[in-house]
């Protein structure tokens, strides 16, 4: 099956297989396209205290735990966070549960980061914890659009699921948690 899965897209492109059966060809392409969907789960850090590089407050700690529960049945391949304490604390419960390290990224280099994520995580699922400005900006870079505005400073509930299929348009599911 693995060999067929590897060769079928090549054969489909070269026109050797299923040329007379359009519906079967389309079904085969969709099946393999689904196998290569990249998924990026984007969240802003949870509720924080004030000051320079603040930590999460109690309700923020509870939200970080809720994120872990929301993602408990999701296979993650990586967890990314900026270097701030609030984003690291938001990512930590999920990363610990999944036995993954929290990998730091530079929020000042989002466009390059998005490009690298799309290249490195084809067909994978990645959690990215950011800020009120970087989280929607990341959705825009991943989808190559400008559809997602900055979050309100008072809103910590947004969760975006960005899916990038091998074939077709990116999709963004906007949820609250």
Domains of the chain, first to last: 2-33 (no CATH), 37-176 (3.40.50.1240)
Q: What is the pLDDT of residue 144?
A: 97
Q: What is the pLDDT of residue 2?
A: 32
Q: What is the pLDDT of residue 36?
A: 87
Q: What is the pLDDT of residue 35?
A: 63
DSSP E strands in 19-124: the ranges are 38-44, 78-81, 102-104
Cβ atoms 117, 78 nearer than 8 A: no
pLDDT digits (tens, 9 = 90+) for 131-145: 999 999 999 999 999
Which stretches in the chain have pLDDT values below 70? 1-35
């Amino acid at each position: 099956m693995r060999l067929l899965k590897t060769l079928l897209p090549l054969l489909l492109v070269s026109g050797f297989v299923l040329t007379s059966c359009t519906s079967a060809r389309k079904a085969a392409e969709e099946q393999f396209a689904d196998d290569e969907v990249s998924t990026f789960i984007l969240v802003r850090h949870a509720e924080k205290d004030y000051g320079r590089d603040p930590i999460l407050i109690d309700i923020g700690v509870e939200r970080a735990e809720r994120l872990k529960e929301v993602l408990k049945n999701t296979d993650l391949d990586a967890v990314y966070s900026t270097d701030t304490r609030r984003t690291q604390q938001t990512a930590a419960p999920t990363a610990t549960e999944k036995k993954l390290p929290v990998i730091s990224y530079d929020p000042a280099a989002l466009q390059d980061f998005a490009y690298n994520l799309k290249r490195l995580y084809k067909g994978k699922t990645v959690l990215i914890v950011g800020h009120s400005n970087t989280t929607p900006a990341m959705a825009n870079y991943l989808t190559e659009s400008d559809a997602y505005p900055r979050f309100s400073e008072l809103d910590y509930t947004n969760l975006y699921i960005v899916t990038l299929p091998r074939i077709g348009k990116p999709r963004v599911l906007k949820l609250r948690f």
